[in-house]
Amino acid sequence: MRTALLHLTIAVVWLLLSPQRDLPRLLFGLGIGWVVLALLHPLLPPDRYLGASLALFRWLWAFAKTLVLSQVRVAQIILLPSRYPIHPGFLRLPLDDLSDLEILLLSHSISLTPGTTTVDVDREQRELLIHALEADSPEETIAQIRSELLEPLLEFTRS
């Protein structure tokens, strides 16, 4: 908690020392603060702040990458339907031991990604029902969702 307050303090001091006070300068100050904290990490009291914030950025990067690539894929399907035929269908993604927050974040990540939509969360069977434009190989699609969305999410939520 103290590391987070120190991070915020560095960003606010940066903002106050800047000639203009706007959002880009605040974000830049947050970036500088994170670098300073990373350099001073051995001198700071132990906490999970730096690792968790790095895991958050990894998850956001993985989501952004998946979002852009799926947008390109859906555009290909729409613009060249004869070359990229669709095989829509429903898939079931086992939830295993995910918490409610992890289920919420995963289901929204899936729904925000073009070409896939979370239809239902089955709490009794612990699985997500997903509609996908390309469901011709369900195991491959589930494996892709696990590797591209779920693993970075778990790294963030469980760090």
Amino acid 7: pLDDT: 84
Cβ–Cβ < 8 Å for 134, 86: yes
Amino acid 156: pLDDT: 92
Amino acid 117: pLDDT: 93
Distances (CA, A) of 6 to 34, 40, 51: 10, 11, 15
Distance (Å, rounded) from C-alpha 153 to C-alpha 60?
9
Amino acid 102: pLDDT: 94
Amino acid 116: pLDDT: 92
Amino acid 105: pLDDT: 94
Amino acid 2: pLDDT: 79
Nearest to 146 by CA among 120, 109, 119: 109
Distances (CA, A) of 58 to 54, 88, 107: 6, 30, 18
pTM for this prediction: 0.79
Amino acid 159: pLDDT: 78
Nearest to 136 by CA among 72, 86, 80, 74: 86
Per-block mean pLDDT, blocks of 10 residues, the chain (159 long): 83 88 88 86 79 89 94 93 90 90 94 93 90 90 93 91
Amino acid 112: pLDDT: 93
